[in-house]
């Protein structure tokens, strides 16, 4: 799980947007909800998405541990995430996790109840009662002025204890997001491009063994 965590950060950050919908635990900021509602509406309006992103990993002192670029495709309950050395494919029934360094792919059954960061949970909005959120105001990030929304999980046993979402309100879109985990690591991603009109065929979400010569398949379904 640790090996593929970074590839799921983008999905997790997008999930944070859906967590905000109809939150009824404790008291959350209605101004933040208006912003998150607008972002969620825009995301849900896409039939398929292709996005590129940069992931930066920092330690507790802010020292950069690494930086990677990646691509994510989403369509209905299907997704594919590609990042340096790793790929995850999900066709809605199976999940293939490919490790380039080992030339090995692990096949498992798709079970949304076992993974907090799946597109199903993002777009189906099933985590709408798990976070409290508040608007911290405007921040300057590079050339952009963004609105920072701070999100805190109600369940304190979660590995992620804080998420900051940075929204470009002029476009109702996520510019960046920062996830803090209990081990002291900080995961920061920035969306470089997002195409909500992408044409993505279903084969994109299926691992094609013929394209990975010599790959070892570890089938955990058997």
Q: What is the pLDDT of residues 110-138, one digit of tens each?
A: 876 555 455 444 433 433 567 788 999 99
State the DSSP string of 145-160: EEEEEEEEES-TTSSE
H helix and E strand count, the chain: 4, 12
Measured between alpha carbons, how far is 95 from 105 in angstroms, rounded to an integer?
10
pTM of the model: 0.78
The tens digit of pLDDT for each residue in 29-39 reads 889 888 888 88
Residue % of the chain over a pLDDT of 70: 80
pLDDT for res 20: 46
Give me 119's structure tokens: 């597109």
Residue-range domains of the chain with CATH: 2-219 (2.50.20.10)
């Amino acid at each position: 799980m640790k090996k593929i965590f970074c590839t799921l950060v983008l999905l997790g950050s997008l999930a944070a947007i859906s967590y905000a919908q109809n939150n009824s635990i404790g008291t959350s900021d209605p101004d933040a909800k208006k912003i998150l509602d607008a972002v969620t509406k825009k995301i849900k309006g896409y039939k398929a998405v292709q996005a590129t992103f940069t992931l930066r990993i920092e330690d507790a002192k802010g020292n950069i541990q690494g930086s990677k670029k990646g691509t994510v495709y989403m369509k209905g309950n299907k997704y594919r995430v590609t990042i340096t050395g790793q790929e995850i494919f999900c066709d809605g029934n199976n999940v293939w996790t490919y490790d380039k360094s080992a030339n090995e792919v692990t096949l498992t059954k798709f079970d949304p109840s076992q993974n907090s960061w799946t597109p199903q949970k993002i777009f189906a909005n099933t985590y709408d009662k798990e976070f409290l959120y508040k608007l911290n105001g405007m921040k300057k990030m590079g050339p952009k002025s963004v609105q920072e929304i701070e999100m805190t999980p109600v369940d304190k046993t979660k590995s992620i204890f804080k998420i900051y979402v940075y929204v470009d309100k002029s476009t109702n879109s996520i510019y960046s997001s920062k996830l803090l985990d209990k081990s002291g690591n900080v995961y920061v991603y920035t969306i470089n491009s997002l195409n909500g009109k992408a044409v993505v065929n279903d084969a994109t979400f299926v691992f094609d063994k013929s394209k990975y010569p010599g790959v070892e398949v570890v089938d955990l379904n058997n």
